[in-house]
Amino acid sequence: MSTFTPTTSPARAGASDEYEQFCVAFRRVCGIDLLQYKRGQMERRIRSFVATRGGGVDLLTYCQKLNADKAELNKFLDRVTINVSQLWRNPEQWETLEAKILPDLAETGRNRVRCWSAGSSYGAEAYTLAAIARKAIPRAQVSILGTDIDARMVERARSGVFSGEDARDAPTATLASHFEMVDGRWHAAPELKKVVRFEQGDLLRVNPPAASYDLVLCRNTVIYFNEDVRDALHGRLAASLREGGRLVVGATERVSDPAGHGLEPESPFVYRKI
């Protein structure tokens, strides 16, 4: 995997307060760079969690505990990583993908569609994409890569198992066609698992080859990043698309400079590579 190193900030050059020092130390523990996230909301989340651990411990002492106690580290990651997802989240986006985007990509891509679910959490987005692709472009050769920074979520995604709550917005007939209910949980069918694979990957570092994807989904993720980090990420996602490929962002997200990244808006949440 190629790496991408964001521009050095004053905080990175010389951590000057407890929070920044904690972020530097935490990156050594597990590789996650919290300094690239919006400080206000992330610091509040971290300090409120640490306060619940008792003993009035300061952030740097707590980071030592994270380094020594894997169970505590997992609890902390559950708090600070964003793993909100579900099958068919934002149904209007999936309707657009099924009716317009996937058929166009299959036609212009000679019946091959390479997809990337960037920041895939526990896999709900990737499996939803696999299900609608089988419905919309059943004869196309589809491959879907899901990446997430949290190794625990990657392992969970590989299982392809989802709760009833995860499926609350899923269309009943399509869900039943591609998932099996076992012991109160929805299990992805083998035909979905054949086209989906998952890898651990940090969006702040990954730098995929140019024109390597037809479709990139990066939804409800960049809202947590600083503006410079967000814009740099959008640039790298755009570069990974072939001409005519699509970048799909969250329903409330926007690419700030589409033309600068070689993109043109196609709908409120879809950008086409030009």
3-state secondary structure of 107: helix
DSSP states along 237-253: HHHTEEEEEEEEE-TT-
CB 135 within 8 A of CB 174: yes
Provide the pLDDT for residue 16.
65
Please provide the CATH number assigned to the domain covering 91-273. 3.40.50.150
Provide the pLDDT for residue 28.
87
**What are the residue ranges spanned by the domains of the chain?**
10-80, 91-273
- Span 253-269, pLDDT tens digits: 899 999 999 999 999 89
Give CA–CA dist 26/224, Å, rounded.
18
More confident of the two residues 186 and 149: 186
Which of these, 88, 81, 63, lies nearest to 224 by C-alpha position? Answer: 81
Give CA–CA dist 80/185, Å, rounded.
26
**Distance set, CA 243 to CA 58, 142, 269 (Å):** 50, 18, 18
